[in-house]
Amino acid sequence: MVERLWAGWRAAYLEDLDTDRSAMPSPGAGQSLFESILASGRPDDETFILWRGEHCFSLLNLYPYTTGHVLVLPNRAVRDLEELDAETAAELWSAVRDAVVAVKAAYRPDGVNVGANLGRAAGAGIPDHLHVHVLPRWLGDTNFTMTVAETRVIPESLQLTWRKLRDTWPD
């Protein structure tokens, strides 16, 4: 007998996917994708920016590994940690800490992954703009769907995730 995995929200998500992609600004000349999102002038609830600092900002991953997947990054594109000046590095790690606090408050996970993929060989999907991933993890969150079908089910919309994390982001 065939088992069914019902995810009724998924159809609306897929219908909106093309809209969501077109809503994100294309990188301008000399800008990284993240710089163009930051400079777009669009409201934070459309770009999923969670926090803005003097040197860094945070936003949701548009293609999350799991619900609550946050990116923290400098405002200007740099490839490597050693390219950050002292002020930007300090603000980046302070914002990573705040992202962990928000993720824990919003989702009460069993653990949190924090990491950066530096360079394409390390798995960086956007290697020209350093970013730190912060994502909640639960015991048993890798299941048959991920293992066998290489598919993740994300149970809530990015809009709801954005609201939850904005509400729990430290002031």
Phi, psi values for residue 76, rounded to 5°: -105, 145
* Bridge partner residues of 135 (DSSP): 113
Please report how many Cα atoms fall inside a 13 Å half-sphere around the Cα of residue 100, on the Cβ side. Answer: 13
| Separation CA 43–CA 138 (nearest Å) | 31
Integer Rg of the chain from CA: 17
Please report how many Cα atoms fall inside a 13 Å half-sphere around the Cα of residue 20, on the Cβ side. Answer: 16
Dmax of the chain from CA atoms? 59
- Catalytic residue list: 131
Phi, psi values for residue 58, rounded to 5°: -135, 145
